[in-house]
Amino acid sequence: MTYTFWILLTASLVGISCGIVGVLLILRKMAMLSDAISHTVLLGIISSYLITNSLDGFYMFIGAAIVGVLTTVFVQLLNSAGVQSDAAIGVVFTFLFAIGVILVSMFARDVHIDVEHSIMGEIAFIPWMTVDWFGIEGIPQAVWMLGFVLIIDLFLILLLYKEFKLSSFDPGLAAALGLPVGLLHYVLMGMTSITAVASFDAVGAILVVAMLIAPGATAYLLTERLHMMFILSAVFGVIAAVTGYFIAAWLNASIAGMMATMAGVLFLLAFIFSPTHGIIAKRFSQRKIQQVDIET
Amino acid sequence: MNPITANNITVAYHRKPVLQSVSFEAPEGKLIGIIGPNGAGKSTLLKSILGLVPKASGDVNIYGKTYRKQRQIVGYVPQRGSVDWDFPTSALDVVLMGRYRQIGLFRRPKKNDVKEAMSCLEKVGMEQYANRQISQLSGGQQQRVFLARALAQNAHIYFMDEPFIGVDAATEKAIVQLLSELREQGKTVIVVHHDLQTVKDYFDWVMLLNVRKIAFGPTNETFTSDLLQKTYGGKLTFLDQKEEEGVPFA
């Protein structure tokens, strides 16, 4: 397997898993909460390293999932105590992230998780960091982790498809029907956390938000069916990741930065040219209405 | 047995009571309107019965059992404005949501469920819009989809939160028709309502609510200017004036 193959596979796995989880985040208007989680999982990673003294991906997952869910719990606690929700998110995530940064700088300076790496990611190193799991040699750890996360995300979305759909569209009816609305919320937060931590190595804490939100937001502008939104979002995630890599390699620029930029470019294109939601289509239909007004 | 027995319901937001010690026993097979000024706690009363907002005190029984045990016989139509109509889904899909409890956790809707949902859409005259994306429907059509969804719940008791708000005349007529059909089938329907002019035509019983229950009983006994004055306070004189001028005060 070549170096480029592993990079593209990693990037595509990031695109797909972030893309499908992002659909639910957008429909539930929780984009900012995912921003918070993508940062606070740093605390989960460093905590699991300090407790287990290993950089094993499995412990990182557990740590990240716990801290990610804790983030939403704290936000909700503050919120129900009367703090505005955006202020609650801002306070909780910067506080937990800051603790993570302090712990990294104090105890983990010389290991692989340095602050800059966590924030910016470095996909270019991924093909060399292979592990031998299940007797299979030579597969990068990031690919293993992203593969597992993608399977978990897909499994949960398929299993809970109609539950996620109703609780996103109409939480009131979902609760009245007795669906486990609170549990679904925390399942999604857990999915967001493990997806963020698995994508960390590739794109870093800041840009993973772009991969979580931009492809879903693009798909939202282009389809009127939920299942299609999942598919399109995953496709746009892959396109952003792959084109981003090649353009970055060509310009010798930041790979993660270029992937996020491409995600933004795709969104911009949809925003302008979407046949239903695009600004050109809207202008056109407005002019049509005005013309009808003049004629009648 | 009464379909709904509410004892002493109190609900508070940030220690400010929005509902105080509301008790009532709803009779079976009646169309019941809940009216009162803005902020009187009408929607909150519905939500507290359905367990959607926490009660500071009090309890509710549905045919003598807690709501949790009776979910399958209770249908709910939330306010149309409470959901995002840009959500990527079709009218038929929204109606199918009413059957999610019967379908069960983890399971997918079957052909049978789709058929049932289609027939509910037919009952509200919306079958030709089944595959339409919900944002492309008018306000009245969206409301009818919500009603079809409640029908798909196949309940004995229906709670509807302001179903007449912002709908066209055709939809208003369709809703009234549907309400009387539900009554004929012996179902109990509780409707939060705001248009005082139509109360006498639409409802058999009425509750006058302003944080506390002012009155509850058959419409001809309860919907009196005396009790309305008590419910709306000074605001009603303003409404009376408007009525004299012939302006509807919807």
pLDDT digits (tens, 9 = 90+) for B167-181: 999 999 999 999 999
pLDDT beyond 90 at A96: yes
Nearest chain A residue to B135 by CA: give it.
Answer: A224
Task: List, for residues B120-164, the tens digit of each pLDDT value.
Answer: 999 999 999 999 999 999 999 999 999 999 999 999 999 999 999
pLDDT computed for residue B16 by the predictor: 86
Q: B217 is written with which tokens?
A: 């009983």
Tell me the residue length of chain A. 296
pLDDT beyond 50 at A41: yes
Q: B163 is written with which tokens?
A: 């179903």
pLDDT beyond 60 at A270: yes
SS (H, E, C) A165-227: HHHHHCHHHHHHCCCCHHHHHHHHHHHHHHHHHHHHHHHHHHHHHHHHHHHHHHHHHHCCCHH
Residue A267, Cβ density class (10 Å: 0-12 exposed, 13-18 middle, ≥19 buried): buried
Label residue B43 by pLDDT band (50, 70, 90): very high
**What span, in angstroms and rounded, lies between the C-alpha atoms of B57 and B11?**
7
Q: B135 is written with which tokens?
A: 């944002």
**What span, in angstroms and rounded, lies between the C-alpha atoms of A237 and A21?**
11
Q: Do A166 and B108 touch (CB under 8 A)?
A: no
Label residue B249 by pLDDT band (50, 70, 90): very low
Please indicate whether residue A109 or residue A185 has the higher confidence score (pLDDT): A185
pLDDT computed for residue B246 by the predictor: 44
Please indicate whether residue A267 or residue B166 has the higher confidence score (pLDDT): A267
CB A7 within 8 A of CB A124: yes
Model ipTM?
Answer: 0.89
Mean pLDDT of A59-63: 83
**What span, in angstroms and rounded, lies between the C-alpha atoms of A78 and A56?**
33
Please indicate whether residue A1 or residue A172 has the higher confidence score (pLDDT): A172
pLDDT beyond 80 at A134: no
The superfamily in CATH containing domain A3-295 is ABC transporter involved in vitamin B12 uptake, BtuC (1.10.3470.10)
Q: What is the DSSP string of B174-217?
A: HHHHHHHHHHHTT-EEEEE---GGGHHHH-SEEEEEESEEEEEE
Q: B159 is written with which tokens?
A: 């709670």
Q: Tokens 């944080």 belong to which residue?
A: B211
On whether any CB of chain B is under 8 Å from the CB of A155, the answer is: no
pLDDT beyond 90 at B34: yes
In chain A, DSSP assigns E strands to 130-133, 136-140
Averaged pLDDT score across all residues of chain B: 90
Q: Tokens 């299940």 belong to which residue?
A: A134
Listed in sequence order, the residues at least 6 apart from B203 whose beta carbon sits closer than 8 Å to its beta carbon are B31, B32, B33, B191, B193, B219
Backbone angles phi, psi at B137, to 5 degrees: -90, 150
Domain map (residue ranges) of chain B: 4-232
Kind of pairing between the strands at B205-210 and B57-62 = unpaired
**What span, in angstroms and rounded, lies between the C-alpha atoms of A47 and A91?**
20
Nearest to A48 by CA among A123, A103, A98, A102: A103
Domain map (residue ranges) of chain A: 3-295
| Interface A:B, Cβ pairs < 8 A | 75
On whether any CB of chain B is under 8 Å from the CB of A158, the answer is: no
CB A44 within 8 A of CB A66: yes
On whether any CB of chain B is under 8 Å from the CB of A279, the answer is: no
Nearest to A206 by CA among A254, A138, A135, A147: A254
Task: List, for residues B179-229, the tens digit of each pLDDT value.
Answer: 999 999 999 999 999 899 999 999 999 999 999 999 999 999 999 988 999
Q: Do A175 and B103 touch (CB under 8 A)?
A: no
Work out the angle at residue B34's Cα, subtended by the Cα atoms of residues B33 and B37, and round it to the nearest 5 degrees: 135
- pTM recorded for the entire structure: 0.89
pLDDT beyond 60 at B244: no
- Which of helix, strand or coil describes residue A280? helix
Q: Which letter does DSSP use for residue B87 in this model? A: S
Q: Tokens 């009234």 belong to which residue?
A: B176
pLDDT computed for residue B98 by the predictor: 94
Q: Do B76 and A173 touch (CB under 8 A)?
A: yes
* Closest CB from B52, B97, B149 relative to A175: B52
Q: Which residue type does A186 have?
A: Y
Measured CB to CB, residues of chain B less than 8 Å from chain A are 14, 47, 50-52, 68, 71, 74, 76, 78, 82-84, 87-90, 93-94, 97-98, 100-101, 103, 105-106, 108-109, 133, 135, 149, 153
Give percent of chain B with pLDDT exceeding 70: 93
pLDDT beyond 90 at A76: no
* Percentages (nearest 5) of helix, strand, coil residues in chain B: 45, 25, 30
Residue B64, Cβ density class (10 Å: 0-12 exposed, 13-18 middle, ≥19 buried): exposed
Nearest chain A residue to B92 by CA: give it.
Answer: A225
pLDDT beyond 70 at A3: yes
Mean pLDDT of A258-274: 94
Q: B77 is written with which tokens?
A: 């139509």
pLDDT beyond 50 at B243: no
**What span, in angstroms and rounded, lies between the C-alpha atoms of B164 and B63?**
27
Q: What is the DSSP string of B123-173?
A: HTT-GGGTTSBGGGS-HHHHHHHHHHHHHHT--SEEEEESTTTT--HHHHH
**What span, in angstroms and rounded, lies between the C-alpha atoms of A194 and B246?**
63
- Number of Cα atoms under 13 Å in the Cβ half of residue B223: 19
Label residue A218 by pLDDT band (50, 70, 90): very high
CATH number for the domain formed by residue range(s) B4-232? 3.40.50.300
Work out the angle at residue A72's Cα, subtended by the Cα atoms of residues A66 and A74, and round it to the nearest 5 degrees: 95
Q: Which letter does DSSP use for residue B153 in this model? A: T
Task: List, for residues A224-239, the tens digit of each pLDDT value.
Answer: 999 999 999 999 999 9
Mean pLDDT of B221-241: 76
Label residue A64 by pLDDT band (50, 70, 90): confident
